[in-house]
Amino acid sequence: MLKAYKYRIYPTKEQEESFFQHFGACRFVYNWALENKIKSYEQNDKSVSRFTLNKMITELKEEHTWLKDVNSQSLQGATLNLETAFTKFFREKKGFPNFKSKKNPVQSFSVPQFYEVDFDNNKVKLPKIGWIKTKLHRKFKGIEKTATLSRTPTGKYYISILVDDEQETPVKSLFNEKVTVGIDIGIKDFAILSNGKKIDNPKYLKTSIQRLHVLQRRMSRKQKGSKNRAKARNAVSKLHEKISNQRNDFQHKLSSKLIGENQALALETLNVSGMLKNHCLALHIADASWSSFVTKLEYKAEWFGKTILRIGQFEPSTKICNVCGYHNKNLTLADREWQCPDCKTNHDRDVNAAINIKKSALNKQNLIGI
């Protein structure tokens, strides 16, 4: 299986300059490759392959000699990233690749090979840069693949190493109704389980929103290009980073707990991008970051041989009585509890939805009652 290990690195000033040189060169090659692909398609109705672009980089170095100071494997990694972006565009409809800007607060470049990791001395060696002080807080075993070095908006540097641990993906565990849990994600409560348990939504962004507004107003009053504006921008970035770290920590702990306690998890497919167009709820939906949580559940389920079951986004899980199947068409978002007119069962809106999600997912697997 492939797993990524992320470590913080502490470069010297000279190494930082080399990082920025790599960031700029890889960004330049990416934009150059994207321009070539667009022109080739417009003129010949054909796209230039990544391998052709890699051969053209040699000629590009003669024109721009400063590219020779950068690791050649990193430059080829830029064309690979572009190829991946086009694949997502055609297969997953993720949006046409955009040109990269040096104003982007997050910069990165990849090192496909020829790097070394020294756990004993807490150092990582990168080609053209040398040994860099690194906080190697955990060891890994396996074949080292691509390493990606990145810089955050707050000026911190990280290296993410992709490792093949040479282990086969675990066989999916058998599951039935007793070891399956339905999960309804929401805003008031972050997650509601089919067993009736509710996980509070910490709402980290809402907690820090007033402080964030203060820092943003301070930044807007500073003169553009000044050092004070840079300091104010860094303060805003630090708060955003803190919120992101809090959210990720919460989601990692919750997802690990749910994966460890159940053999299968039933989820509802949500159109998050469409829901974000609701201006009344967009802030709360973005704060919850449902897509990120589902992604964590999916890859952790693959690691531990668990199963993720999905139901369609148009199934009315909230409005159907989980006892008799009555469809309450008049239920609104304000109704948190309701009574079924047929069987007189009192329902908690979210718990009822979680139970229906579980039943619907198991029904598709022909596992109801097993």
Q: Which residues are designated catalytic?
A: 184, 268, 350
Partner residues linked to 2 by β-bridges: 164
Q: How far apart are CA 196 and CA 61, in angstroms?
A: 63
Strand, helix or coil at 133? strand
Residues 6+ apart with CB under 8 A from 97: 34, 82, 85, 86, 89
Query: Is 244:208 a contact under the CB 8 Å cutoff?
Result: no
**3 pairs with which residues across the strands?**
163
Distance separating alpha carbons of residues 49 and 44, to the nearest angstrom:
13
Residues 184 and 191: their CA atoms lie apart, in Å, by 6
Cα–Cα distance for residue pair 183/97, rounded to 1 Å: 34
Residues 6+ apart with CB under 8 A from 46: 40
